[in-house]
Structure 1
Amino acid sequence: MIRRRVTALSVAAAAAVLLLAGCAGSADPSGSPTLSASPTATSASPTPTPTPTPPPTPTPTTSTETLPTDCAQLGSAATRAETVGDMTLQSDGAGFIRPAPEGATLALGCDWIVGEGAGVLLLISTAPAANVTAALPGLASEGYTCQAAEDFGAQYCLLPGSGTDTEEAIVARDDVWIYYATVNRNGRALLSEIASGIFG
């Protein structure tokens, strides 16, 4: 009776030892709890908002016209022959003092003469467009009458002379200033072709 009880206690004690041994085997030998690695939080960098690019600023007073460079090629051959065909080209027009806007630069000058009683003078200049516009109102005080030209979209200013077919004309648009004078010669057809060739 006593022996059985001792045996039963021995079995129970052995079971307890094994149970404790099993628990001890699952513990961390260092005594520190094992921590699982925390996932690193990835913070996405904010995408910068694109800044709209402003449209390019147009460059002012840029001439798109094609200016003539040769007195012998102005207008059509027929009109040029009728107007100055019997005349001699005397000079390039440099040095003539005529109404012109501030800052004007002579691009082409043609001075035709025949004998002592007839001639045609053409001065084509360029200047800042604002100066061309500012110079037009002052022509009235010099006797010019200005109006819009229907055939080449520019200001056409006329100063009648004292003789037949003797007059001064100014055609201005954008940054181009044309001075044209005739003495005893009808030159309006050639002027119209010159202006149309420049302004289109």
Structure 2
Amino acid sequence: MRRTSPLALSTFVLAGVLAVTLSACAGGSATPTASPTSAPTPTQTAEPEPTPTEPAAPTVAPANLPTDCTTLGTDMSRQDTVGDMTLQSDGTGFEREAPQNAQLALGCDWILDEVAGVLLLISTADAAAVSAAADALPAEGWTCGVADDFGAAYCYIEPADMAGVQQTVVARDDVWVYLETYQRDGNAFLSDIASQIWS
């Protein structure tokens, strides 16, 4: 067996390495590989933050303010309450419980000699002032609740120093209704008036 000299083996190995290197460098057959830094970096567009929307405020039906004392309530309740009385004034000048800066929209003052009387004052004011005035009544001795038939604050008092007198307030939104009766039940009349206003 013939032995190859160390120099000849080294030359053979070197020649093989060169051949592989040259074939890798030759153009046309090799597929170029992309550099990791050559690919474009995608840009991210920030999504706009959704704008919070306020819940829609509940719609409030406008009040139907009466303008004539002779058409208040129903024919029956009006006749039963003030049918035998004389309408003697428009309520101007009466100072009764009312919200701050209240404006009188309709006043009706009925009287039957010295036997009976009914005073009705319908006023308007800022809704917050109406609510605040109604909230303050219990501290003054009034009994208050919410009327089921017309959804308003309902307060009443029978002053100890005024025998036969009942004072009643119905308040809702920007309307304040004050009814004072002397020796007369005005509850049905007031209920019909409130329904007339907030129907």
**TM-score scaled by length of structure 2:** 0.68
Shift of 1:117: 2.5
Q: For residues 95-128 of structure 1, give each alpha carbon's deviation from its aligned partner in whole angstroms, at most 9, with x where no partner exists.
A: 1100110110000000000011210000000001
Shift of 1:137: 2.0
Q: For residues 23-73 of structure 1, give each alpha carbon's deviation from its aligned partner in whole angstroms, at most 9, with x where no partner exists.
A: xxxxxxxxxxxxxxxxxxxxxxxxxxxxxxxx9xx99xx871110000000
Match of 1:77 in 2: 75
Alignment of 1:127-166 (within 5 A): 127-161=125-159, 162-164=162-164, 166=165
- Contact 2:145–2:154 (Cα < 8 Å) also in 1: yes
Match of 2:105 in 1: 107
After TM superposition, the runs of 4+ consecutive aligned structure 1 residues lying more than 6 A away are: none
What RMSD over aligned residues (CA atoms) do the two structures have, in Å? 2.6
- Contact 2:153–2:171 (Cα < 8 Å) also in 1: yes
Q: Give the residue type in structure 1 aligned to 2:117.
A: G
Identity %: 56
Q: Give the residue type in structure 2 aligned to 1:106.
A: L
Q: For residues 162-187 of structure 1, give each alpha carbon's deviation from its aligned partner in whole angstroms, at most 9, with x where no partner exists.
A: 534x3000000000000000000011
Unaligned runs of 5+ in 2: 1-52
Unaligned runs of 5+ in 1: 1-54
Q: Give the residue type in structure 2 aligned to 1:163.
A: A
- Contact 1:63–1:175 (Cα < 8 Å) also in 2: no
User: Using the alignment, how far apart are the partners of 1:86 and 1:108 within structure 2?
Assistant: 21
Alignment of 1:160-199 (within 5 A): 160-161=158-159, 162-164=162-164, 166-199=165-198
User: Using the alignment, how far apart are the partners of 2:61 and 2:124 within structure 1?
Assistant: 9
SS of residue matched to 2:123: strand
Q: For residues 145-170 of structure 1, give each alpha carbon's deviation from its aligned partner in whole angstroms, at most 9, with x where no partner exists.
A: 11000011000001124534x30000
SS of residue matched to 1:94: coil
- Contact 1:125–1:178 (Cα < 8 Å) also in 2: yes
Shift of 1:139: 1.1
SS of residue matched to 2:180: strand
Q: Give the residue type in structure 2 aligned to 1:120.
A: V
Q: Give the residue type in structure 2 aligned to 1:153.
A: G
The structure with more radius of gyration: 1
Match of 1:92 in 2: 90
What is the aligned length? 148
User: Using the alignment, how far apart are the partners of 1:78 and 1:171 within structure 2?
Assistant: 21
SS of residue matched to 1:136: helix
User: Using the alignment, how far apart are the partners of 1:168 and 1:138 within structure 2?
Assistant: 15
Shift of 1:191: 0.3
- Contact 2:61–2:198 (Cα < 8 Å) also in 1: no
